[in-house]
Structure 1
């Protein structure tokens, strides 16, 4: 059990594999304001030309400069606009008007706005498989902005994103696979930079990794979910007392150690079911359960469906996804 908190970054981010990636390029001229009701998956955007504003529901608006990278880990509802306070047009209506075939079959391009100062918006919409990576994304802030003026690598990552979107528009052979793989690398780099440069103090997985003691416990839970972990044994891994460990874990993570462990275990189990496993008892044992019944109850509480329903869902086909950028 030699996994370190530093290794945890590779361990968990290594599980983040894009199931499907859709690229888009929006040519926008002031005044413009677009409203998204939210998407299934993750959004990543960069811009050239004029800066713009982005505002997530319930959060203050953020001014985005050319070269900055914007990430919405949960794809939440938001407004992107040349100025605050403009009347908005739904993203979905414009996308559906310009989309060819099924969402993801082709990159999406459109022009919109009033003819003023121009902003080019390069967008990636990523779907992640249902596994432990989804748990990670759910614990990230709803909006992450890497500033080119503050983090040296940001501009390079932004240029790579822009080049990737432009390359997909040509739809050369293999473009879909290439996009998905390149998106995986960009995602890892952006999250790594956020880990090192993001604000301290807020609850979340990345803050837990920053903490050497809590990071050790997180690493062991991810590396060995099958072991019979308790708060006491996790505290020993962290070289802390049970009370200090529990308090610190909740302070940083916003959840208890055992709830987090359950999420890790259930995410791994779901990944295995969706990848083809159908022996519930074997999967249960692999994530630390000594009873299939206890595992099934825990899985249903976590996933909102039984293991058998999850297994069945993979044969029904992909869920309907909302086409937004």
Structure 2
């Protein structure tokens, strides 16, 4: 095994940064909530991630498996799996289902909510966001039901600035606010996730430990950034600057799967997203992901998912058609 020089140690954060680039948002709705006591909202489970930022005042959040948690101005809560939860002016307060709350559309994918009584005021930025191809990213599978950053992130000087900009966009109702919010939310959520990853330094194995490893992290980043390259165990070992045998052994010990299996699974997850969204043909997916032929790709895909890729593409087209018909004004 190659010795880990100080230069190699410095590359580990870069590997994490490269992989975090895959964690993108594809869609979202954004809202300004002005709530005066007494108030409470019950938010059902959804396929999207939920994001709450306390602009001013305070509130309580009933978090999955954690009970009621007090949030103050500057706090950020991210529920990456869209787990059902509640927010209210006090712990165990009365809550109203979200679909019964008054919502006013103030732009494309933006809304405003005003509710409550005559008591103290709390202003929240509340977002529902969709991760692009969530099945692709191992981080999403590892995240807990809620990530909480106190005070805008005491160890991240940039996060409070981004959150201030997000609040400003919502409060002032500027033209194009939804577009700006999309960009801001992308960066904010990435930084919240990064803070969570960096707090998990005690993990001795698993994907997080692998991406932090100066050598295995290089190989993982290469797979994520260039999944269509003609990777072999030998070429990935070269990226990691390790011998083939030691690389294979260490990769499997940290990640929980051999390099070839991890690569194949990652490619098939990417292909599933492409085909389900009807963005590419089966032949195009095969070329982009480095397969010699459409037939070879189709065989690999069926081994992975149990269905041929053409079936998944038809299914995605049918679902898109039904969603289009169901979309109201």
Question: TM-score by structure 1 length?
Answer: 0.75
Q: Is the 8 A contact 2:218 2:239 kept in 1?
A: no
2:316 is the alignment partner of 1:311: no
Structure 1 counterpart of 2:115: 112
- Pick from 114, 137, 140: which aligns with 2:140? 137
Change (3 A) 1:131 1:84: closer
Give the structure 2 partner of residue 27 of structure 1.
34
Task: Give the 3-state SS of the residue equivalent to 2:18 in structure 1.
Answer: helix
Moved more, 124-133 or 228-237: 228-237
Offset, 1:67: 0.7
> Could you list the runs of 5+ residues in structure 2 that have no partner in the other structure?
1-7
Q: Which residue of 2 is the match for residue 159 of structure 1? A: 164
Does 1:246 pair with 2:248?
A: no
Answer whether contact 1:30 1:118 (CA < 8 A) is retained: yes
Counterpart contact for 1:52–1:81, Cα < 8 Å? yes
Number of residues of Structure 1 aligned to a counterpart in Structure 2: 305
Question: Mapping of 1:45-124 within 5 angstroms?
Answer: 45-94=52-101, 97-100=102-105, 105-124=108-127
Residues of 1 paired with 2:91 and 2:259: CA distance?
41
- Cα RMSD for the two superposed structures: 3.7
Aligned partner of residue 61 in structure 2, secondary structure:
strand
Partner of 2:154: 150
Counterpart position of 1:200: 201
Q: Which moved more, 1:290-299 or 1:83-92?
A: 290-299
User: How far apart are residue 186 of structure 1 and its match?
Assistant: 2.8
Query: Residue by residue, what CA displacement relative to the aligned partner does 1:182-235 show, whole Å, maximum 9, x if unpaired?
Result: 332333333334444x34335875554233344223113213434454599669
Separation (CA, whole Å) in 2 of partners of 1:136 and 1:40: 16
CA–CA distance in structure 1, aligned partners of residues 29 and 184 of structure 2: 12
CA, structure 1 residues 58+224, in 2 after alignment: closer, same or farther (shift >3 Å)? same
Distance 1:144 1:15 in 2: 19
Whole-angstrom CA distance in 2 between matches of 1:134 and 1:318:
26
Which runs of structure 1 show a deviation greater than 6 angstroms over 4 or more consecutive aligned residues? none
Q: State the secondary structure of the residue aligned to 2:92.
A: coil
Deviation for aligned residue 1:6: 3.7
Q: Secondary structure at the match of 1:317?
A: helix
CA contact (8 A) 2:78 2:147 kept: yes
Counterpart contact for 1:235–1:245, Cα < 8 Å: no
> Given that residues 211 and 217 in structure 2 are in contact (C-alpha distance below 8 angstroms), is that contact kept between their aligned partners in structure 1?
yes
CA contact (8 A) 1:131 1:267 kept: no
Alpha-carbon distance between aligned partners in 2 of 1:184 and 1:281, rounded to the nearest angstrom: 31
Deviations 1:17-76, CA, capped at 9 Å, x for gaps: 433221111122334332211222222221133322323333344332211222122222
TM-score when normalising by structure 2: 0.75
CA offset at residue 236 of structure 1? Answer: 8.7
Is the 1:235–1:241 Cα contact (8 Å) retained in structure 2?
Answer: no
Change (3 A) 1:269 1:60: same
Which residue of the other structure, out of 250, 270, 273, is the alignment partner of 2:272? 270
